[in-house]
Structures are given as C-alpha cells and as structure tokens.
C-alpha cells in the first residue's frame, strides 16, 4: 500500500486530508511540524510521498525537503502553498520537489498530482547532493523573491501547470503516429517548440526537421520555397534549389502560420500532400517525397474555411489531430518558471548576474495578462535584466522594461467567440468531462461554466 506523510500545522485541514486520502486507498500519517515529520521518517522510513505545507511552526517546509536530500531519501515531495506565495513553489521545485498545489486544494487535482508524482518517481527523482539545492534552502528570505540557479540553462521548459501537462500529454500521444498535426494558438505561445517535440518523439526523430514560415514567403516565390526549382526556371534562378519538401524528406516538415498561404499555393500544397510527389519549378520529372506534416497558425481556420479563404479539403488534411496551445495567462504559476528561465538566459547573453525578482516585481508579473505570451515575457525580462541595478529586479525596473503596456485584467477575453470554441474543443477532446476540460484549459470548473454561458 502506498504510504503518504502529510505535514500540515492546520490540524483540522490535515485531518480532513488524511481521512480523504485513506478513503482513496492510501496509508496516511500526519505531522504538524518539520521536527515531528523527521522523527516519523526516521522511525518509519518507507514513505512513498510527502505532502507538505511550506509555512510550518518550527521551520520552513523546504528545510524538510533539504533534509531528505541530505539523507539520500529521494521521496517525491509535493508542496502546498497559497496563490499569494506561488514563487515559493518555484523555489521548492528547483530544490527537487516533484510538484506543487495551490490552496484551497481541489481534491481531484491533488489526486492527479499524487498519481503523477508516484508514476514519475522511478525516472525523475531528486538528486540528494545537489549544491544548488543546498544554496537555495539556505537563503534567509525565500518568501521575498524568485531566484536562479547555476545550472546550464535549457532554451525552453514545458511547465508544471495542469494546462501544460495536458498539452504535452497530447504531444506524447500523437508523436509516435503518422498523423498530420495542426497546432492552434496565439503568437508567442511556443508552437514551434511543440512541433519539434512531436518530431523528437516520433519514429522520424533521426531525420530532418525543416521549419518554414509561411507568413514570410512572398506569393510569387512560394512554389519555389516548397518544391524547389531548376536553374533557369525564372529570372534570377541561377542555380538549382532544393525546396522544403525535399529538404525534409524522411523527416518532419513544419509549416508555421499556414493560414497566411494564398489560395493558389494552398492548391499546390494539397496536391503534393495527396500525391506524395513534387515537381520543382522548371523541372520535368516528379520526385517522391515522404514527410510527416505539422502545421501551425494563430488564425481561426474554420472561420477562414467558412469565408472561402482557406480550402476545406486542405484544412482536413492538415488537422488529422489538433493541439490547442494555452496562452501564458492560462498556465498559472508556470509564469514564474518561464520568467526565471528567461532571467538565466538573459544573464548568459548579457553577462549579467541578476538572481530574480523581488516580491513586488513578482506580483506585477502575475497581474499582467501577457497578450504577447512567452515572446513578450522573454523580451520584457531581458530588458529588465539589463536595467537591474541590484541582485533582484524591482517593480520599478520591471515597469520600465514593460513600457506602456495594456494593463488589462488577466481574465480579459480577447475574442469571446474563439474562446468559447476553444472550450468546446477541449470538452470534445476530454469526452465531455468538464473537470478534465477545465484542467486542460488552466481554469476552474466554475469559470468554464461561466464562459460557456
């Protein structure tokens, strides 16, 4: 039986969780402080998971996590925190926590996170002697800022929110198949990264991944960009050129902003996809091609089809499986994870040593809707790192980096019809399960009902 230790100083709340988890089949013990938790673990070391509050009477919950690492006990550790202190959850995950959950706790979400942490335990356990973890837990004022680590920075992270988890579960589901994928989402949400992850998890991973920005292709050279051309095919064609289809042969072709293609180019693209053969401009022979197609757009293609701007047969060819990209405002506290990553990347690029954001700056990050999504956040953070005069970015420095932004509430609707359709699509993918659809979209069930009207 799975054994869980709850560390919570609110006795009534802890008892309620203990009773509920026991009904779900877990063996559950309860501690009201770090000291009591340590004694329980020493006397009964076979716990499979620790569920701990951060603010405890004797010590910070992160100190319990550090103690587990010090004693080589990589037990999955889930942090409980309130929405006003989500930056502390970021610190916890950097210290090796498996996940976090915000109070007030929703039971179905907690159960899902527990199951995920237990399933991932064999493949991604925290390392016990990580010097960065020790450094983080020794900082005296963890509640006042987010911080960075000294590890080499990845170029992108996938996030921990329910919306992010749902997104990448779909990526893992469709990647091994030969299906064409259409990625829908606003600008700056990371559509190309998702396309690359689909390629990397597919059977074509060792073959080329070729990305083509359809929005940047002039209409008169689109056919050449797709299919190539022979020398002398048109004025200026001084040499043979290989097109994107041939360059991606055997691998994946990613067509970004596919909604910008002109109607006549759509016809040529559809024919190439149907026939699996291409003919370079000025050529006389057709060449077989074998590609997996992934396309992306920030347009409403169904509306474009209805208005006659996009071919319906091409739309269905592209959308054998559709993935909807959550906006940054829908990804909850992933905002802090991305902001922290962008600080590290800016430090490396600009040769700076900024450690993160102070408390007021972190609050300002969360109060803005980020209509430009990850791209806007990255640009703002880079400017803020450049402007920062101390170890931590202040609210004033962040405001200056943001410039004259639109201070709209985070729940503002940019397109009510599009959002309603997004919710309906999520419900369809979740088999009508409203709780799952709400988690996929990064909203609660009540909000989902309100937006459906």
Is residue 248 one of the residues assigned to a domain?
yes
Residues 311 and 248 in one domain: yes
Is residue 188 one of the residues assigned to a domain?
yes
- CA 92 to CA 143: how far, in whole Å? 11
Residues 101 and 168 in one domain: no
What residue numbers bound the domain in which 78 lies? 3-140
- Alpha carbon separation from 448 to 109, 188, 445 (Å, rounded): 16, 24, 5
Q: What is the pLDDT of residue 410?
A: 39
Residue 317 has pLDDT above 90, yes or no: yes
Residues 45 and 105 in one domain: yes
Is residue 116 one of the residues assigned to a domain?
yes
Q: What angle do CA 283, 288, 291 make, to 5 degrees?
A: 120
Which strand (E) or helix (H) includes residue 31? strand 27-31
Q: What is the pLDDT of residue 217?
A: 82
Question: Which residues have a Cβ under 8 Å from the Cβ of 249 and sit 6 or more positions away?
Answer: 208, 289, 290, 291
Residues 288 and 167 in one domain: yes
- Among 109, 140, 171, the domain-final residue is 140
- CA 79 to CA 85: how far, in whole Å? 11
Q: pLDDT tens for residues 39-62?
A: 999 887 689 999 998 888 888 888
| Interval 343-355 mean pLDDT | 92
- Among 289, 309, 324, the domain-final residue is 324
Is residue 309 one of the residues assigned to a domain?
yes
Quick one: which of 126, 108, 106 has its CA closest to 49? Answer: 126
Is residue 360 one of the residues assigned to a domain?
no
- Residue 389 DSSP class: -
Residues 96 and 245 in one domain: no
Residues 22 and 110 in one domain: yes
| Interval 275-296 mean pLDDT | 88
- Among 254, 289, 324, the domain-final residue is 324
Residues 87 and 129 in one domain: yes
Question: Which residues have a Cβ under 8 Å from the Cβ of 87 and sit 6 or more positions away?
Answer: 143, 145, 146, 336, 357, 359, 362
Q: Please check whether residue 60 is in contact with residue 140, taking contact to mean a CB–CB distance below 8 angstroms.
A: no
Q: Count how many domains the chain has.
A: 3
Q: pLDDT tens for residues 130-168?
A: 333 333 333 333 334 444 444 456 777 888 888 898 999
Residues 90 and 183 in one domain: no
- CA 31 to CA 3: how far, in whole Å? 14
Is residue 353 one of the residues assigned to a domain?
no
- CA 24 to CA 112: how far, in whole Å? 12
Is residue 274 one of the residues assigned to a domain?
yes
Residues 96 and 130 in one domain: yes
| Interval 278-288 mean pLDDT | 82
Measured from the Cβ of residue 348, the count of other Cβ atoms closer than 10 Å reads 11
Q: Please check whether residue 48 is in contact with residue 75, taking contact to mean a CB–CB distance below 8 angstroms.
A: yes
User: At 302, which CATH number?
Assistant: 3.40.50.300
Residues 57 and 116 in one domain: yes
| pTM across the whole model | 0.63
Is residue 393 one of the residues assigned to a domain?
no
Residues 119 and 167 in one domain: no
Residues 119 and 27 in one domain: yes
For the chain, helix (H) and strand (E) counts, in that order, are 20, 15
Q: pLDDT tens for residues 100-122?
A: 887 778 787 788 889 888 887 65
């Amino acid at each position: 039986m799975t054994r869980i230790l709850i560390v919570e100083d609110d006795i009534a709340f802890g008892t309620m969780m203990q009773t509920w988890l026991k009904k779900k089949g877990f063996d559950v013990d309860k501690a009201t402080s770090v000291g009591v938790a340590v004694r329980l673990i020493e006397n009964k070391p076979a716990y499979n998971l620790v569920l701990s509050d951060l603010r405890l009477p004797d010590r910070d919950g992160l100190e319990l996590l550090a103690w587990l690492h010090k004693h080589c006990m990589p037990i999955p550790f889930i942090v409980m925190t309130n929405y006003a202190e989500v930056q502390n959850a970021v610190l916890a995950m950097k210290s090796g926590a498996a996940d976090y959950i915000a109070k007030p706790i929703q039971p179905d979400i907690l159960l899902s996170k527990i199951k995920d942490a237990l399933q991932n335990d064999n493949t991604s356990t925290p390392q016990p002697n990580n010097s960065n973890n020790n450094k983080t837990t020794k900082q005296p004022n963890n509640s006042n800022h987010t911080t960075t680590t000294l590890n080499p920075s990845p170029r992108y992270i996938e996030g921990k929110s329910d919306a992010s988890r749902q997104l990448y579960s779909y990526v893992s589901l469709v990647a091994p198949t030969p299906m064409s994928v259409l990625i829908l989402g606003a600008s700056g949400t990371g559509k190309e990264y998702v396309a690359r992850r689909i390629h990397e998890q597919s059977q074509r991973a060792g073959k080329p991944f070729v990305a083509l920005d359809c929005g940047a292709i002039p209409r008169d050279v689109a056919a050449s960009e797709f299919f190539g051309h022979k020398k002398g095919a048109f004025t200026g064609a001084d040499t043979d050129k290989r097109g994107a289809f041939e360059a991606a042969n055997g691998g994946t072709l990613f067509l970004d902003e596919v909604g910008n293609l002109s109607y006549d180019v759509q016809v040529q693209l559809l024919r190439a996809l149907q026939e699996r053969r291409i003919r370079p401009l000025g050529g006389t022979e057709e060449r077989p091609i074998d590609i997996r197609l992934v396309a992306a757009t920030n347009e409403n293609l169904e509306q474009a089809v209805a208005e006659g701007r996009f071919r319906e047969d091409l739309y269905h060819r592209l959308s054998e499986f559709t993935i909807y990209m959550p906006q940054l405002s829908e990804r909850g506290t992933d905002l802090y994870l991305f902001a922290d990553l962008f600080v590290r990347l800016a430090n490396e690029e600009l040769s700076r040593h900024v450690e993160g954001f102070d408390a007021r700056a972190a609050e300002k990050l969360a109060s803005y809707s980020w209509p430009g999504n990850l791209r806007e956040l990255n640009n703002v953070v880079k400017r803020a790192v450049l402007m920062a005069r101390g170890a931590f970015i202040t609210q004033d420095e962040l405001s200056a980096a943001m410039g004259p932004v639109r201070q709209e509430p985070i729940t503002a609707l940019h397109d009510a019809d599009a959002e309603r359709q997004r919710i309906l699509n999520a419900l369809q993918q979740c088999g009508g399960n409203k709780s799952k659809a709400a988690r996929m979209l990064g909203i609660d069930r009540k909000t989902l009902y309100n937006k459906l009207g």
